[in-house]
Structure 1
Amino acid sequence: MFAVTMEASTLRTFHQWVRGQIGNGPVRLLVFFAALLFATGAVAQSRLDDIAARGTLRVGMTGDYRPFSQRDAAGGYTGLDVDMANNLAEALGVKVEIVPTTWASLLPDLSSGKFDIGMGGISITLPRQRLAFFSRPVMRVGKAAIARCADKDRFQTLAEIDRAGIKVIVNPGGTNERFDRANLHQADIVGFPDNARIFDELVAGKADLMITDAVETKLQQKLHPELCAIHPDQPFDFGELGYLLPRDIVLKQFVDQWLHIAVENGLWRGLLEKYLGS
């Protein structure tokens, strides 16, 4: 990618000069653009250069999706992707700055330049892919249900869930809500804005179940013995998690290579065992 800074009249004059020098041969167009790059010096600077110059890697996180990121009352962040963010910053030779965001504002915040990379259990979707890049996938997931253990046998299929009077709780603005609204037409979809407390609402009987990433259902049944994940190894659909990036190929290539190394040297597996026990 490059940015052309010449005015239109200057560009036409330059084109005519190049044509006069090299004629109408089959390589004229390629030579013209090569000469144009040289003349303008207009190679776009990567976000990677900006990060290095700034000395900080700005990481967008919602802070409400365990085990990937969790924000405490004092404003500190912990989780698998917090550790990964620190490792990425170390690889870049910079410090980490965590930028709070929400599921609904992930893309607007990225587009407006509030952060350099989004981390914390972000689903790779085609609508997001239209507006941004993703790293290589970090985990295969899919949507699964979680309910109070006494009720889990009632909700084995989407057909059993999608019935009048069934309350499905959801955090607004993310892929959980999109899945519910695409697949549930009879059940009541109940929005609850605090994703960090949503499972407490489920335990308290404020809803019948929740549908979220299977990996989260496995973790939450450990944290809440009253809740049971419903066939999380056979989710309702296919999904993958990755890191959200601006449309900057240089930054993406660096992140993908760093991630490849993190997988091959055991860092990723070690963090999975630390936070998920598997």
Structure 2
Amino acid sequence: MIKRYCSALLMGAVALIHNGVTQAGAIDDAVRRGVLKVGTTPTYIPFEMTDKQGRIVGFEIDLLKEMSQAMGVELELVAVPYTELLPGLLAKKFDIIGSGMTVTQERNLKLNFSDSFIVVGQTVLLHPSLAGKVTSVEDLDDAGYRIAVTEGTTGEVAAKRFLAAARLSSFATPEEGVRQVVNGNADAFIHDAPYNLIALSRMQNSRLLLLEQPFTFEPLAFGLKKGDFDSLNWINHFLNQVAQDGTYDRLHDKWFKDTGWLVGVD
């Protein structure tokens, strides 16, 4: 009886060891493969976007390039619509999500997040006809206002939460949302502060008004499968390293202080 019990314990231990080897984390898989596959939606200026040569560029993309170099692997960007990021990760189409994703409690139930690499918040772009009429997001909580958002984003969630009385329309890309306001089909567009600030600098959007004060607190981070703690550990140490050695500040200045890159963006 004791021998059979010990044998069962030994078999269980062997199975656990075997599973640990065969179910390596995303970072281990990428190192073994020689390629880090990252799911991204290249429509979030200046984090990930497409330049005039069709390349995906941006602040988060540069962080991912530094990450892949630190791992000694190539970086492969897998472009998908924002709503397909989580399903794509679960279907193993890519190793991690790197797409300006905000850490929320709801999302955290479905995937793990790294430490935040930047904190942003939602701001409002207004049609010029609302000058002096709307001075805060609370003023837009009225059935007479039409609000444009990008589907699947925290901007959409924030609009539903703070502007329940307004008429909400969701669009596939933030560019389309801004265009609705420019063309007078919407009164306001809600999206992350960095995007709205840069969108306002474009000639076709220059007449829009910006409520600069963010009305939400949103940390952005890389997304991984639940339980992949080895990969989380590696990525968090990487983020700490680039924060300490000046790499993060250099990349941040490149995309948030300089604006020369705008002419090369599609």
TM over 0.5: yes
In 2, the alpha carbon distance for the partners of 1:152 and 1:87 equals 43
Unaligned runs of 5+ in 1: 1-11, 20-31
Q: Deviations over 1:43-90 (max 9, x none)?
A: 242222211121111111100000000124654211111111111111
Q: Which moved more, 1:266-275 or 1:72-81?
A: 72-81
Q: State the match for 1:78 in structure 2.
A: 57
Q: State the match for 1:37 in structure 2.
A: 13
Q: 1:226 to 1:272 in 2, by over 3 A?
A: farther
The 3-state SS of whatever aligns with 1:67 is coil
Query: Structure 1 residue 98 and structure 2 residue 98: aligned?
Result: no
The 3-state SS of whatever aligns with 1:153 is coil
Query: Structure 1 residue 62 and structure 2 residue 41: aligned?
Result: yes
Q: State the match for 1:230 in structure 2.
A: 211
Q: Which moved more, 1:129-138 or 1:74-83?
A: 74-83
Any runs of at least 4 consecutive aligned residues in structure 1 with deviations exceeding 6 A, and if so which? 12-15
The 3-state SS of whatever aligns with 2:201 is helix
The 3-state SS of whatever aligns with 2:30 is helix
Identical pairs, percent: 25
Unaligned runs of 5+ in 2: 259-266
Q: State the match for 2:246 in structure 1.
A: 266
In 2, the alpha carbon distance for the partners of 1:115 and 1:150 equals 45
Larger Rg, first or second structure (1 or 2)? 1
In 2, the alpha carbon distance for the partners of 1:73 and 1:174 equals 25
In 2, the alpha carbon distance for the partners of 1:139 and 1:14 equals 56
**Maintained 8 Å contact 2:40/2:80:** yes
Calculate the TM-score normalised by the size of structure 2. 0.85
Q: 1:14 to 1:96 in 2, by over 3 A?
A: farther
| Amino acid paired to 2:58 | G
Query: How many aligned positions are there?
Result: 252
In 2, the alpha carbon distance for the partners of 1:80 and 1:187 equals 33
Instruction: Between the two structures, name the one with larger relative contact order (CA 8 Å, sep ≥ 6).
Output: 2
Query: Structure 1 residue 121 and structure 2 residue 100: aligned?
Result: yes
Q: State the match for 2:90 in structure 1.
A: 111
Q: State the match for 2:264 in structure 1.
A: none
In 1, the alpha carbon distance for the partners of 2:4 and 2:231 equals 32
Query: Structure 1 residue 46 and structure 2 residue 25: aligned?
Result: yes
In 1, the alpha carbon distance for the partners of 2:122 and 2:4 equals 55
Q: Which moved more, 1:254-263 or 1:71-80?
A: 71-80
The 3-state SS of whatever aligns with 2:28 is helix
Q: Deviations over 1:141-198 (max 9, x none)?
A: 2222121355243332333101122111111122111111222222111222232343
In 1, the alpha carbon distance for the partners of 2:140 and 2:167 equals 10
Calculate the TM-score normalised by the size of structure 1. 0.82
Report deviation, 1:14. Answer: 7.1
Of 172, 177, 191, the residue aligned with 1:198 is 177
**Maintained 8 Å contact 2:39/2:79:** yes
In 2, the alpha carbon distance for the partners of 1:161 and 1:55 equals 50
Q: State the match for 2:155 in structure 1.
A: 176
Of 189, 196, 201, the residue aligned with 1:217 is 196
